[in-house]
Structure 1
Amino acid sequence: MMECSEQDQKRKRVCRRCKAIYDPLANASDACRYHSSLFVSRRHDDQQRYYELKPDDPPYSAKFYDCCGAEDPYAPGCSTCFHVSYDDP
Protein backbone atom coordinates (compact mmCIF):
# COMPACT_ATOMS: atom_id res chain seq x y z
CA MET A 1 0.00 0.00 0.00
CA MET A 2 1.36 3.39 -0.98
CA GLU A 3 1.46 6.06 1.73
CA CYS A 4 0.38 9.62 1.02
CA SER A 5 3.15 12.14 0.83
CA GLU A 6 3.35 14.93 3.41
CA GLN A 7 2.31 17.39 0.71
CA ASP A 8 -0.79 15.29 -0.09
CA GLN A 9 -1.73 15.24 3.60
CA LYS A 10 -1.37 19.02 3.91
CA ARG A 11 -3.62 19.48 0.89
CA LYS A 12 -6.53 17.50 2.42
CA ARG A 13 -9.59 19.50 3.51
CA VAL A 14 -12.77 18.83 5.51
CA CYS A 15 -16.04 19.53 3.73
CA ARG A 16 -18.25 21.86 5.75
CA ARG A 17 -21.40 20.29 4.28
CA CYS A 18 -20.82 16.53 4.59
CA LYS A 19 -17.76 16.56 6.93
CA ALA A 20 -15.82 14.21 4.62
CA ILE A 21 -12.08 14.58 4.20
CA TYR A 22 -11.26 15.24 0.56
CA ASP A 23 -8.48 16.28 -1.80
CA PRO A 24 -9.30 19.61 -3.50
CA LEU A 25 -7.53 18.41 -6.66
CA ALA A 26 -9.93 15.46 -6.92
CA ASN A 27 -13.12 17.42 -6.14
CA ALA A 28 -16.01 16.74 -8.54
CA SER A 29 -19.48 18.21 -9.09
CA ASP A 30 -21.12 15.20 -7.40
CA ALA A 31 -18.51 14.51 -4.72
CA CYS A 32 -20.47 15.95 -1.79
CA ARG A 33 -23.84 14.45 -0.80
CA TYR A 34 -25.70 16.54 1.80
CA HIS A 35 -29.07 17.87 2.96
CA SER A 36 -29.66 21.50 2.03
CA SER A 37 -31.93 22.09 5.05
CA LEU A 38 -31.97 21.10 8.70
CA PHE A 39 -33.48 18.05 10.40
CA VAL A 40 -36.49 19.61 12.10
CA SER A 41 -39.15 18.61 14.60
CA ARG A 42 -42.39 20.35 13.74
CA ARG A 43 -45.54 20.08 11.67
CA HIS A 44 -44.77 19.64 7.98
CA ASP A 45 -45.78 22.77 6.05
CA ASP A 46 -47.71 20.98 3.33
CA GLN A 47 -49.79 19.04 5.89
CA GLN A 48 -50.22 16.40 3.17
CA ARG A 49 -47.87 13.82 4.68
CA TYR A 50 -48.60 11.92 7.84
CA TYR A 51 -45.82 10.78 10.12
CA GLU A 52 -45.84 7.81 12.43
CA LEU A 53 -45.93 9.12 15.98
CA LYS A 54 -45.28 7.04 19.07
CA PRO A 55 -48.07 6.90 21.66
CA ASP A 56 -46.28 9.33 24.00
CA ASP A 57 -45.28 11.80 21.28
CA PRO A 58 -46.95 15.20 21.44
CA PRO A 59 -48.86 16.26 18.33
CA TYR A 60 -46.60 17.76 15.68
CA SER A 61 -43.56 15.89 16.91
CA ALA A 62 -42.83 14.86 13.34
CA LYS A 63 -39.11 14.79 12.63
CA PHE A 64 -37.78 15.12 9.09
CA TYR A 65 -35.34 16.92 6.81
CA ASP A 66 -37.01 20.12 5.67
CA CYS A 67 -35.44 19.87 2.22
CA CYS A 68 -36.66 16.42 1.17
CA GLY A 69 -38.95 15.10 3.90
CA ALA A 70 -36.70 12.14 4.83
CA GLU A 71 -37.65 11.01 8.32
CA ASP A 72 -34.41 9.17 9.10
CA PRO A 73 -31.75 11.47 10.62
CA TYR A 74 -29.10 9.28 8.97
CA ALA A 75 -30.69 9.35 5.50
CA PRO A 76 -28.18 10.05 2.72
CA GLY A 77 -28.18 13.62 1.50
CA CYS A 78 -30.66 14.65 -1.17
CA SER A 79 -28.35 17.14 -2.92
CA THR A 80 -24.96 16.76 -4.56
CA CYS A 81 -22.33 19.36 -5.35
CA PHE A 82 -18.62 20.06 -5.03
CA HIS A 83 -17.13 19.71 -1.55
CA VAL A 84 -16.74 23.09 0.17
CA SER A 85 -13.87 23.56 2.60
CA TYR A 86 -14.01 25.55 5.83
CA ASP A 87 -11.11 27.47 4.27
CA ASP A 88 -13.23 28.59 1.31
CA PRO A 89 -14.90 32.02 1.47
Structure 2
Amino acid sequence: MEEEKREMEKEKEKTCKRCNQSYTASSNTSSSCRFHPSFFVCRRHDDQKRYYELKPDDPPYAAKFYDCCGAEDPEALGCTSSFHVSYDDD
Protein backbone atom coordinates (compact mmCIF):
# COMPACT_ATOMS: atom_id res chain seq x y z
CA MET A 1 0.00 0.00 0.00
CA GLU A 2 2.78 2.46 0.92
CA GLU A 3 4.70 1.60 -2.26
CA GLU A 4 1.59 2.19 -4.36
CA LYS A 5 1.12 5.60 -2.74
CA ARG A 6 4.74 6.53 -3.56
CA GLU A 7 4.26 5.44 -7.18
CA MET A 8 1.14 7.59 -7.52
CA GLU A 9 2.97 10.58 -6.01
CA LYS A 10 5.89 9.96 -8.36
CA GLU A 11 3.65 10.15 -11.45
CA LYS A 12 1.70 13.16 -10.26
CA GLU A 13 1.87 15.97 -12.83
CA LYS A 14 3.75 19.01 -11.55
CA THR A 15 4.49 22.49 -12.92
CA CYS A 16 8.06 23.67 -13.28
CA LYS A 17 8.72 26.98 -11.55
CA ARG A 18 11.48 27.91 -14.00
CA CYS A 19 9.90 27.18 -17.41
CA ASN A 20 6.23 26.79 -16.39
CA GLN A 21 5.82 23.46 -18.23
CA SER A 22 3.96 20.46 -16.84
CA TYR A 23 5.94 17.28 -16.23
CA THR A 24 5.99 14.02 -14.31
CA ALA A 25 8.89 12.60 -12.34
CA SER A 26 9.43 9.83 -14.89
CA SER A 27 9.72 12.33 -17.77
CA ASN A 28 12.07 14.70 -15.93
CA THR A 29 15.59 14.45 -17.38
CA SER A 30 18.71 16.60 -17.08
CA SER A 31 17.73 18.44 -20.27
CA SER A 32 13.96 18.73 -19.75
CA CYS A 33 13.90 22.34 -18.56
CA ARG A 34 15.29 25.25 -20.61
CA PHE A 35 15.52 28.53 -18.73
CA HIS A 36 17.56 31.68 -18.16
CA PRO A 37 19.39 31.57 -14.80
CA SER A 38 19.54 35.37 -14.72
CA PHE A 39 17.13 38.27 -15.15
CA PHE A 40 16.07 40.24 -18.23
CA VAL A 41 17.67 43.61 -17.49
CA CYS A 42 17.59 47.13 -18.88
CA ARG A 43 21.06 48.66 -18.65
CA ARG A 44 24.30 48.94 -20.56
CA HIS A 45 25.95 45.65 -21.32
CA ASP A 46 29.40 45.25 -19.77
CA ASP A 47 31.18 45.21 -23.13
CA GLN A 48 29.51 48.52 -24.22
CA LYS A 49 30.20 47.55 -27.85
CA ARG A 50 27.07 45.66 -28.84
CA TYR A 51 24.25 47.32 -30.73
CA TYR A 52 20.86 47.27 -29.04
CA GLU A 53 17.62 48.16 -30.74
CA LEU A 54 16.04 50.82 -28.57
CA LYS A 55 12.41 51.88 -28.52
CA PRO A 56 11.56 55.59 -29.13
CA ASP A 57 10.94 56.19 -25.41
CA ASP A 58 14.10 54.43 -24.22
CA PRO A 59 16.96 56.54 -22.90
CA PRO A 60 20.01 56.34 -25.20
CA TYR A 61 21.95 54.18 -22.70
CA ALA A 62 19.23 51.55 -22.25
CA ALA A 63 20.01 48.01 -23.27
CA LYS A 64 17.56 45.19 -22.75
CA PHE A 65 18.89 41.64 -22.55
CA TYR A 66 19.21 38.54 -20.41
CA ASP A 67 22.16 39.08 -18.10
CA CYS A 68 23.18 35.41 -18.39
CA CYS A 69 23.54 35.09 -22.17
CA GLY A 70 22.92 38.50 -23.75
CA ALA A 71 19.76 37.43 -25.62
CA GLU A 72 17.78 40.59 -26.43
CA ASP A 73 14.37 38.97 -26.94
CA PRO A 74 12.38 38.57 -23.70
CA GLU A 75 10.81 35.43 -25.23
CA ALA A 76 14.20 33.88 -26.15
CA LEU A 77 14.59 30.18 -25.47
CA GLY A 78 16.47 29.55 -22.23
CA CYS A 79 20.24 29.30 -22.42
CA THR A 80 20.55 26.64 -19.70
CA SER A 81 19.17 23.09 -19.48
CA SER A 82 18.53 21.12 -16.33
CA PHE A 83 15.89 19.09 -14.49
CA HIS A 84 12.49 20.66 -13.96
CA VAL A 85 11.98 22.05 -10.45
CA SER A 86 8.51 21.93 -8.91
CA TYR A 87 7.03 24.43 -6.50
CA ASP A 88 6.48 21.35 -4.30
CA ASP A 89 10.22 20.55 -4.21
CA ASP A 90 11.19 23.39 -1.87
Corresponding position of 2:45:
44
Q: Which amino acid aligns with 2:37?
A: S
Query: What SS class does the counterpart of residue 80 from structure 1 fall into?
Result: strand
Q: Which amino acid aligns with 1:86?
A: Y
TM-score (normalised: structure 2): 0.81
Which segment is superposed worse, 30-39 or 40-49?
40-49
Query: What SS class does the counterpart of residue 88 from structure 2 fall into?
Result: coil
Q: Which amino acid aligns with 1:15?
A: C
Alpha-carbon deviations, 1:12-31, whole Å to 9, x = none?
10101101011112100000
Select the structure that is richer in helix. Answer: 2
Asked whether 1:86 is paired with 2:64, we answer no
Q: Which amino acid aligns with 2:22?
A: I
TM-score (normalised: structure 1): 0.82
TM superposition shift of 1:68: 0.5
Query: What SS class does the counterpart of residue 84 from structure 1 fall into?
Result: coil
Q: What CA distance in whole angstroms lies between the structure 1 residues aligned with 2:69 and 2:41?
A: 11
- Percent pairwise identity: 63
Query: What SS class does the counterpart of residue 87 from structure 2 fall into?
Result: coil
Would you say how many aligned residue pairs link Structure 1 and Structure 2? Answer: 82
TM superposition shift of 1:67: 0.5
TM superposition shift of 1:55: 4.3
Alpha-carbon deviations, 1:36-59, whole Å to 9, x = none?
111111111221312122444212
Unaligned runs of 5+ in 1: 1-6
Corresponding position of 1:4:
none
